[in-house]
Amino acid sequence: MKVVIIGGVAGGATAAARIRRLDEKAEIIVFERTGYISYANCGLPYYIGDTITDPEELTLQTPESFFSRFHIQMKVHHEVTAIHVDKKSVSVKNLESGEEFEETYDKLILSPGAKPTQPRIPGVGIEKLFTLRTVEDTFRIKEYIIQNHPKSVVLTGGGFIGLELAENLKELGMDVTIVQRPKQLMNPFDADMASFIHSEMRKKGVTLVLGYTVEGFEEKDGGVDVLLKDAKSLHADMVVQAIGVTPDTHLAKEAGLELGIKGSIVVNDHMETSVPDIYAAGDAVQVKHYVTGQDALISLAGPANKQGRIIADNICGGDSRYQGSQGSSVIKVFDMTAAVTGINETNACKAGLDVDTVILSPMSHAGYYPGGKVMTMKVVFEKETYRLLGAQIVGYEGVDKRIDVLATAIHAGLKATQLKDLDLAYAPPYSSAKDPVNMAGFMIENISKGILKQWHLEDAANLPHDGSVTLLDVRTVGEYSRGHIEGFRNIPVDELREHLDEIEKGKPVYVICQSGLRSYIASRILEGNGYETYNFSGGFRFYDAVMNDRGLIETATACGMDQ
Positions annotated as catalytic residues are 42
Q: What are the φ and ψ backbone dihedral angles of 465, each rounded to 5 degrees? A: -115, 30
As a whole number of angstroms, the distance between CA 254 and CA 109 comes to 16
Residue 174 vs residues 149, 151, 169, 204, 206: alpha-carbon distances, Å: 9, 5, 6, 12, 10
Burial 448-475 (b: 16+ CB within 10 A, else e): beeebebbebeebeeeeeeeebbbbbbb
Among residues 562, 540, 543, 542, the alpha carbon closest in space to that of 553 is found at 562
Task: Please name the residue ranges forming H helices in 390-435.
Answer: 399-411
Sign of the Cα torsion 529, 531, 534, 538 reads negative
Q: At 544, which amino acid appears? A: D
Radius of gyration of the chain (CA): 27
Q: Going along 15-124, which residue ranges are E strands?
A: 27-32, 38-39, 59-61, 73-76, 78-84, 89-94, 100-104, 107-110, 114-116
Tell me the C-alpha distance between 523 and 13, whole Å: 57
Q: Decide: 58 and 14 in contact? Cβ < 8 Å.
A: no
Contact indicator for 78, 95 with CB cutoff of 8 Å: yes
